[in-house]
Amino acid sequence: MSDDASTAEEIMAGVYRALREHGYADLTMQDIADACSKSKSLLHYHYDTKEDLLVAFLDHLITTFERRAAAGADRPATERLAAFIAWFGFDPDETDREHFHIALLELRSQGPFNDRIRSRLQRSDRVFRGTVAEILEQGIEEGTFEPVDVQETAALLVATLDGARTRQITLDEMDVDGDTYTRTVARTVIDRVIDPMLAAGVELPDVETVEVLLPRDEPVSIAPADRMDGREA
Amino acid sequence: MSDDASTAEEIMAGVYRALREHGYADLTMQDIADACSKSKSLLHYHYDTKEDLLVAFLDHLITTFERRAAAGADRPATERLAAFIAWFGFDPDETDREHFHIALLELRSQGPFNDRIRSRLQRSDRVFRGTVAEILEQGIEEGTFEPVDVQETAALLVATLDGARTRQITLDEMDVDGDTYTRTVARTVIDRVIDPMLAAGVELPDVETVEVLLPRDEPVSIAPADRMDGREA
C-alpha cells in the first residue's frame, strides 16, 4: 500500500473512532486528529474542511461495503441474504457500534440541508437496495427463490432492517418479547416475507451463525488492537 | 379550556413550528418564544429548561396520538390498520412535515445519552406497537384477520414504516420504481405481510383514501390559519 493510501486509511479509522466517541454534532477536526494520532494540519493538508473529510468517510464506508459484498458474491443467494440481515443486527452489548450508528443517524439528519451528504446517502441507498436486488435475482436464477418483484422487495427489506436498527439504538432496550428490536424484526421478516419467497425445500441459513463477510461498519484498516473486544473486522 | 391549558397548547404548537423551522440541534428558547408569540420569561415560568419543554412536547405528541387512536377505535380493524399505514406516508411536497420529522430524528439520536428523552421514545414505541397489536387483536376477534403473533407483527410493521419514513426524509428523492419510499414500502408490506393475514374475501381499504384520523404530527391546537396548506389537522 502506498504511504498516501495508508495515511488515508488511518484517517478514516480515526473518523470512525471520533464519531463513535464524540457523535456528529460536536465533532471537530481536532477530535479526529487525536483519534488517529495525526496533526490537525496534516488532516487539513488532505481535506480542506471537516465536511470534505466526512464526505470522504461516507464514500469510504460505501466503497468498503461494495468491495466486501462483491467478495462474497460466489456464495449461494440464501447465504448472502442471511448475511445481509445479520449485518444489520446488534447485540445489546455492542456499545461502540451503537454509538457509531447514533452518530450516523445525526449525520443522516443533515441530508435535506447538505447536497454533498445527501448524494452519499442516496448512493448508499442505491448500493444497499442494489445488493439485495442482485441477491434475489441470483436466487431466482438458481431456483432457490420464487420469482418476485426484486426492486420492491429490496426496498421493503432495507427499510425494515434500517428501521429496526434505528429503533434499537435510540430506544436502547430489549422489550419486544424479551428480545432486541433487530432480532425480533429479523426473525419476523424472515417468517413473513422471506420464507414465503423460498422455493419448496429451501431453507435460509441461520442468521445468528452465518458468516457475515460484510464490514462491521468500521473501516477495514482498524488496527487489531482496536478489535480486542471480540468483534469481527 | 382553562387559560393555563390554552397557553400550554399554544406553547406546544410553538415548539412544533420552531422544530420544523430551526431543527433540534440549534433550537433555543427564544426560537420557541418567537414561534408562539410569547415571551421567553413566560416559557421559563412554565418550563424551567429547554429540556423540560421538549420532554413536555414529546409527552404531548404521544398523548395526542393516543387520544386520536382511541377516538377511531370503533372502526373496523382493516380500516384502522390502513389508517395507521397511511399516517406514516409522506407526499414529496410536504416539506413542513418532512422538516419536523428531520428534527425528531435529531432528537431521537439523543436517546442513548438522555434518560428523560429516551423514556419518552420508549413510551412512544410502546404506544405505536400497542396500537397495532390492539388493531390486530380486534381483527382476529372480528374474523377479518387470521390468527398471528400480534406482538411480532406489530414490531415488524412499526420498524418497516418508521424505516421507510426515515429513508424518505433523509434521502429526499423518489427513485424506487419512480415512487416515494413510503408509498413503495407501504404497497409492498401490504402485499407481502398484511394481505396474507387477511381472512378469505377481506380487503384492506385503500391507504391513499382512507380517513386517517390520527394527528398529522402537529399538536391539535394549531390555529386554522396555519393549516391553509390543505393538510388535515
Residue B117: domain span: 50-197
Sign of CA pseudo-dihedral A68, A73, A79, A80: positive
What pTM, to 2 d.p., does this model score? 0.91
Q: What band does A221 get if pLDDT is binned at 50, 70 and 90?
A: very low
Shared domain check, B137 and B34: no
Please give, rounded to a whole number of angstroms, the shortest distance from the CA of B145 to a CA of chain A. Answer: 15
Contact B77, B143 (CB under 8 A): no
pLDDT band at B219 (very low <50, low <70, confident <90, very high): low
Please indicate, yes or no, whether residues B44 and B64 belong to a single structural domain of this protein.
Answer: no
Mean per-residue pLDDT for A149-176?
91
Task: Say whether both A135 and A65 belong to one domain.
Answer: yes
In this structure, the answer to whether residues B36 and B126 fall within a common structural domain is: no
B44 and B54 share one domain: no
**Coil, strand, or helix at residue A145?**
strand
Report in angstroms the alpha-carbon separations of A86 from A2, A9, A176, B30, B166.
34, 26, 18, 45, 21
For the domain that residue B29 is a member of, what is the CATH number?
1.10.10.60
Instruction: Calculate mean pLDDT across residues A193-212.
Output: 94
Q: Which pLDDT score, from 0 to 100, does residue A216 have?
A: 62
**pLDDT band at A228, cuts 50/70/90?**
very low
Based on the domain organization, do A106 and A80 belong to the same domain? yes
Q: Is residue A222 a part of any domain in this protein?
A: no
Helices (H) and strands (E) in chain B, counts: 9, 0
DSSP A173: -
Query: Alpha helix locations (H) across chain A?
Result: 3-22, 29-35, 40-46, 50-71, 77-88, 95-108, 115-142, 150-171, 181-189
| Domain assignment present for B176 | yes
Contact B12, B60 (CB under 8 A): yes
Q: Decide: residue A22, CB within 10 A, 0-12 exposed, 13-18 middle, 19+ buried.
A: middle
Residue A218 is predicted with a pLDDT of: 57
Number of domains in chain B: 2
Chain B residues whose CB is inside 8 A of the A105 CB are 105, 108-109
Distance between CA atoms of residues A44 and A34, nearest Å: 14
Whether residue B176 sits in one domain with residue B64: yes
In degrees, rounded to 5, the angle at the alpha carbon of residue B87 between the alpha carbons of residues B81 and B91 is: 135
Distance CA A3, CA A15 (A): 18
Tell whether A2 and A69 lie within a shared domain. no
Sign of the Cα torsion B168, B171, B173, B174 reads negative
Grid coordinates belonging to B231:
393538510
Q: Are residues A60 and A44 in the same domain?
A: no
| pLDDT of B30 over the 50 cut | yes
Q: Quick one: which of A215, A220, A221 has its CA closest to A68? A: A215
Q: What is the pLDDT of residues B186-212, one digit of tens each?
A: 999 999 999 999 999 999 999 999 988
Tell me, yes or no, whether B204 lies in a domain.
Answer: no
Do B172 and A112 lie within an 8 Å CB cutoff?
yes
pLDDT score for B233: 35
Query: Mean pLDDT in chain A?
Result: 88
- Per-residue burial over A174-197, b = 16 or more CB atoms within 10 Å of its CB, e = otherwise: eebeebbbbbbbbbbbbbbbbeeb
- B59 domain residue, yes or no: yes
Please give the pLDDT value at position A90: 78
**Domain boundary, last residue among B31, B48, B65:** B48
Percent of chain A at pLDDT > 90 equals: 71
ipTM for the whole predicted complex goes beyond 0.85 = yes
Please give the residue that has the higher pLDDT: either B154 or A230: B154
Contacts of A99 in chain B (CB under 8 A): 112
Mean pLDDT (chain B, rounded): 88
pLDDT digits over B118-144, tens only? 999 999 999 999 999 999 999 999 999
A22 touches chain B (CB under 8 A): no
Beta bridge partners of B145: B198
Same domain, A86 and A191: yes
The number of beta carbons lying within 10 Å of the beta carbon of residue B68 is 18
Residue A112 in domain: yes
Give the residue-averaged pLDDT of A204-231. 61
Nearest chain B alpha carbon to A100: B109
Decide if A206 is inside a domain: no
Interchain CB distance below 8 Å, A156 and B160: yes
A202 is a domain residue: no
Residue B28's pLDDT is 96
Residue B110 belongs to domain with CATH number:
1.10.357.10
Using DSSP's 3-state secondary structure scheme, residue B200 falls into coil
Chain mean position to CA A105: 12
The verdict on residue A208 lying in a domain is no
Which range is least confidently modeled, B74-78, B179-183, B195-199, B225-229? B225-229
Mean pLDDT of B63-67: 91
Q: How far apart are the C-alpha atoms of A120 and B76, rounded to whole Å?
A: 43
Question: Is B160 in contact with A163 (Cβ distance < 8 A)?
Answer: yes
Q: What is the pLDDT of residues A16-46, one digit of tens each?
A: 999 999 999 889 999 999 999 999 999 999 9
Q: Which residue of A lies nearest to B193 if distances are taken between CA atoms? A: A192
A24 and A126 belong to one structural domain:
no
pLDDT at A178: 76
Q: Are residues B101 and B149 in the same domain?
A: yes
Helix (H, G, I), strand (E, B) or coil at A198: strand
CA distance A140 to A232: 31
- Tell me: pLDDT of A154 over 80: yes
Residue A55 in grid coordinates = 464526505
Give the pLDDT mean for A141-166: 97
Contacts of B31 (CB under 8 A, 6+ apart): B18, B21, B22
Instruction: Note whether B181 contacts A99, CB cutoff 8 Å.
Output: no
Residue A179 pLDDT level (bands cut at 50, 70, 90): confident
Q: Are the C-beta atoms of A183 and B155 separated by less than 8 Å?
A: no
